Amino acid sequence: MVTTGETLVTQQETSNFDLASYLKDKQQLVEAALDRSLAITRPETIYEAMRYSLLAGGKRLRPILCLTTCELLGGTLEMALPTACALEMIHTMSLIHDDLPAMDNDDYRRGKLTNHKKYGEDIAILAGDGLLAYAFEYAATQTRNVDPHNLINVLGRLGRTVGPAGLVGGQVLDLESEGKPDITVDTLKFIHTHKTGALLETSVVSGAILAGGSTEDIQRLSQYAQNIGLAFQIIDDILDITSTQEELGKTAGKDLRDQKATYPSLWGLEESKKQAQNLVSGAIAQLTPYGNKAEPLRAIANFIVTRNN
């Protein structure tokens, strides 16, 4: 997963921890669990449509963050796996609905036809609804050996993360900001903390809660997650520009073409890189009390600023 090409920001720490191999192992675990989570039954169309997008690949970053945090605080993979799957179902649902003609109107995602291009718009809306509802059913009915108060806490946070105080709220402000390159940093941060940050934070925090983490653990890991979520978005915006600069002759980056406000457009490229690096440093500082056990979360934070795709 860690690429060898030019990095955007100098890697802060070197470590013998093999992140690529760690992510690969966890990814395989998640893929197998997702595959088992949803058997096809009547009416077959909807299960096929849900599985089509749920099993379309991807980094599985959200489930992995949940599993990793649960293990960090002494929990087992088994305790976190149903919630990890639920997080990916929710993420998939948000992609299916974002791709709809009434939203971003995308025909392809990860090289495959989007859900509505493959199954029709009606089924795609229902596949999203089905994945969202099934995420709650799955986490509520499949979780074992977790204090029930902690599970209720996690289910409530999952709901908040998708609703108007999370994904949905972020998407609405994003839609309202289209074609307005002069929006404020405050609005831009609101969009990202809601649209992408909230689910990343809940991925980390839910792992901590399922493991029975203390209030201090949850606060530390929440701050870690908020920082890497925002850094992730800033780097996304930077890559949209720099990958264009590297590949001369191609049309300008999508954000620039769409006159979309981004961190580089508001802060400039250098300041954006600096902010991203500061956020990652702050994230890593939160992990100090956990020592070597936090190596996976540390490596994931560094990976975010060093990735180049």
Please give the residue ranges that form the binding site for a second copy (CB under 8 A).
42-43, 45-47, 50, 93, 97, 100, 102-103, 120-123, 125-126, 128-130, 132-138, 140-141, 148-149, 151-153, 155-164, 166-169, 171-173, 175-176, 190
CB of 53 to a second copy, least distance (A): 13
**Residue 55 burial (C-beta neighbours within 10 Å; 0-12, 13-18, 19+):** middle
Inter-residue contact 86 to 210 (CB < 8 Å) = no
Nearer to a second copy, 5 or 43 (CB): 43
CB of 44 to a second copy, least distance (A): 9
Nearer to a second copy, 57 or 163 (CB): 163
CB of 137 to a second copy, least distance (A): 3
Nearer to a second copy, 67 or 132 (CB): 132
Query: CA dist 272 to 103, 229, 234, 240, Å?
Result: 28, 14, 7, 13
CB of 181 to a second copy, least distance (A): 19
CB of 121 to a second copy, least distance (A): 4
CB of 286 to a second copy, least distance (A): 26
Distance CA 23, CA 243 (A): 25
Inter-residue contact 19 to 303 (CB < 8 Å) = yes
Closest CA to 230 of 260, 250, 266, 201: 201
Distance CA 129, CA 93 (A): 7
List 112's β-bridge partners, or say none. 109
Nearer to a second copy, 138 or 224 (CB): 138
Nearer to a second copy, 41 or 309 (CB): 41
**Residue 91 burial (C-beta neighbours within 10 Å; 0-12, 13-18, 19+):** buried
Nearer to a second copy, 46 or 297 (CB): 46
CB of 193 to a second copy, least distance (A): 12
Distance CA 50, CA 268 (A): 40
Nearer to a second copy, 79 or 279 (CB): 79
CB of 293 to a second copy, least distance (A): 29
Nearer to a second copy, 32 or 102 (CB): 102
